[in-house]
Amino acid sequence: MTGRPRPAIAALPAYRPGRSAAVVEAELGVSGALKLASNEAPFGPLASVAGAISAGIESVNLYPDHGAVALRHDLATHVGVDVERVTVGAGSAGILQQILLAFCEPGDEVAMCWPSFEAYPIFAMLVEAEQVRVPLRDETFDLPALAESVGPRTRVAFVTNPNNPTGTVVGTDEIRAFLDAVPDSCLVVLDEAYSEFVTDPRVTDSSALVAEHDNLVVTRTFSKAHGLAALRVGYAVGHPDVVAMIDRTSVPFAVNDLAQRAARASLAAADEMRERVAQVVAERDRVTGELRAAGWDVPDAQANFVWMPVRERAGELAGALERRGVVTRAFADAGIRVTIADRAGDDRFLSALADAVADGGDDRGDRG
């Protein structure tokens, strides 16, 4: 190999996105495959957002505002905090990587419950930090156990709410108790990529927690509820000193001009966005009800997907669905995650699932 990469980078696994419909069609010889593997929105941008993107096309020869100042101000107003508490990045995933770059050194610890967002271990390995993984309890973050795992070398602890891939939540009071239990030397990252879809009354606005705890940073994204996944724009809210350190690790011009325009337009159309979210939530609840009626033991879904904890049968069931043209996301020995689509797409998934079971794609044993 030309050059000498760091050993940690040479051993770094690549992030594995959800399989595309095109790949499944080519591999299995099916046509018209439906991708429900990446938690993408089932709709395109709002008309006003599309207009904002189009209006910026003539300026793509120019660099964007590196600091995304106008977007930060809009976000500060939207969240209800001072602008010094807001930063932006290339999706919330980009900000998560920046956080570990800013706060972790080789040999430090990064704590998380597991399974959760697959990028966390990759980012930890990038900075040569040790991972501390705490098992979920009832498909949900076990915050008391996670707090017990935090030691003097723990620099970052992830709390994913709702959790990905299980879609479960912990209440805001539980998060507050967790924050009270961990030392200030541990930065708590509250990953709220799917927060707009939450209907559980135990979960309230986390902005108050940021004001109470200087070691808390909340990350959110425009990829899910706002339907702007391709543009890669996310944001974080935290103490000004934490935000300043995150900003130091930013790639120059990380959030492009079209993304900034789209995000600002989407914030301005918040009511329309919430209407779309309500449609997704209604479909999510319908699909959850249909699955339970068919005998599947699924947890309460609080994001834009449902989780089927089929354990060691995850690969088998996902494969059976792919042969029927429905692409889901399998997590080995844990379960499959299914993105909520429109009604027609969801009905197609439910039909494919029923066919897979009838044809032996599921062993019809304990479905929990």
Question: What's 241-290 look like in SS3?
Answer: HHHHHHHHCCCCCCCCHHHHHHHHHHHHCHHHHHHHHHHHHHHHHHHHHH
Distance, in Å, from the CA atom of 45 to the CA atom of 215, rounded to the nearest integer, reads 35
What's the rounded mean pLDDT across residues 21-45? 94
The proportion of the chain whose per-residue pLDDT surpasses 90, expressed as a percent, equals: 91
The 3-class secondary structure across 155-223, one letter per residue, is: EEEEEECCCCCCCCCCCHHHHHHHHHHCCCCCEEEEECCCHHHCCCCCCCCCHHHHHHCCCEEEEEECC
226 within 8 A of 33, measured Cβ to Cβ: no
Lowest-confidence pick of 128-137, 139-148, 234-243, 357-366: 357-366
Pick the range with the lowest mean pLDDT from 53-62, 246-255, 359-368. 359-368
Give the separation between CA 259 and CA 250, rounded to whole angstroms: 16
Burial (CB count within 10 angstroms: exposed 0-12, middle 13-18, buried 19+), residue 173? exposed
pLDDT at position 10 is 85
Residue 208: pLDDT over 70? yes
pLDDT at 319 over 80: yes
Mean pLDDT to the nearest integer, 39-61: 95
How does residue 364 score in pLDDT terms, banded at 50, 70 and 90?
Answer: very low
Q: What tokens were used for 84?
A: 């010094």
Residue 361 — very low, low, confident or very high, per pLDDT cuts 50/70/90?
low
Nearest to 182 by CA among 230, 148, 209, 158: 148
Q: The domain 9-38+271-358 is classified under which CATH number: 3.90.1150.10, 1.10.10.10, 3.40.605.10, 3.40.50.450?
A: 3.90.1150.10
Q: At 301, is the pLDDT very low, low, confident or very high (cuts 50, 70, 90)?
A: very high
Q: Is 291 helix (H, G, I), strand (E, B) or coil?
A: helix
Tokens of 133: 């993984």
Could you report the per-residue pLDDT of 81-102, keeping only the tens digit for each?
Answer: 999 999 999 999 999 999 999 9
Higher pLDDT, 8 or 233: 233
Tokens representing residue 111 in the block? 């704590």
Instruction: Examine the pLDDT at 195 and tell me if it is beyond 80.
Output: yes
Domains of the chain by residue range: 9-38+271-358, 60-268
C-alpha distances in angstroms, 78 versus 73, 74, 94, 235, 334? 9, 6, 21, 12, 37
pTM of the predicted structure, to 2 decimals? 0.94
pLDDT value at 300 more than 80:
yes
Fold assignment, 60-268: Aspartate Aminotransferase; domain 2 (3.40.640)
The side-by-side arrangement of strands in the sheet containing 305-311 is 305-311, 334-339, 329-331
Summarised one tens digit per residue, pLDDT across range 147-159 is 999 999 999 999 9
Peptide bond into 144 cis (omega under 30): no
| Mean pLDDT along residues 124-138 | 97
Q: Mean pLDDT throughout 334-350?
A: 98
pLDDT value at position 233?
98
Nearest to residue 104, comparing CAs of 132, 123, 79, 89? 123
Q: What is the pLDDT of residues 325-340, one digit of tens each?
A: 999 999 999 999 999 9
What's the residue count for the chain?
368
Structure tokens at 209: 């927690």
What per-residue confidence (pLDDT) applies to 100?
98
Per-residue b/e over 180-189, b at no fewer than 16 CB within 10 Å? eebeeebbbb
For residue 359, the one-letter residue type is D
Residue 1's pLDDT band, with cuts at 50, 70 and 90, is low
- Asked whether the predicted pLDDT for residue 366 surpasses 80, the reply is no
| Cα end-to-end span (Å), the chain | 47
